[in-house]
Structure 1
Amino acid sequence: MARTTIGDEPRHADYSPCEHAVTPSGQPRDPQSACPGRTTRPVVCNQHGDTTEAHHF
């Protein structure tokens, strides 16, 4: 049986993953980057993806 891991993943407003370095407010550290800033950090399961819906483990 595979191990289930749960974590959080930073996302932009369009829900795309954000890998950029940001300030505590969520704005990009590099003002020249194309990063619009982080707006959310959904909980993500390695087997079921986003856990916005109820999952039965």
Structure 2
Amino acid sequence: MTVHSTGGMFNGSYTYAMSSRDGKHSLAINMNGDWAKDKTEQPVNLLIEAATAEFCGD
């Protein structure tokens, strides 16, 4: 599946939006990265989990 996306960060806030080419799957997410306790809780890991669930799920 081809996924088109855009995103960025500003002062610890991460924002991403992505969609499949046909528009049947989409995801918009904003995360506050200031709460991360260690490297395993980085916002990018949560983004990967959310995108995987939306675009690679059953």
Query: Would the TM-score normalized by the shorter structure come out above 0.5?
Result: no
Higher strand share: 2
Higher helix share: 2
Question: Could you say which structure has the greater relative contact order, defined with CA pairs below 8 angstroms and 6 or more residues apart?
Answer: 1
Provide the TM-score with structure 2 as the length reference.
Answer: 0.23
Provide the TM-score with structure 1 as the length reference.
Answer: 0.24
- Greater C-alpha Rg: 1
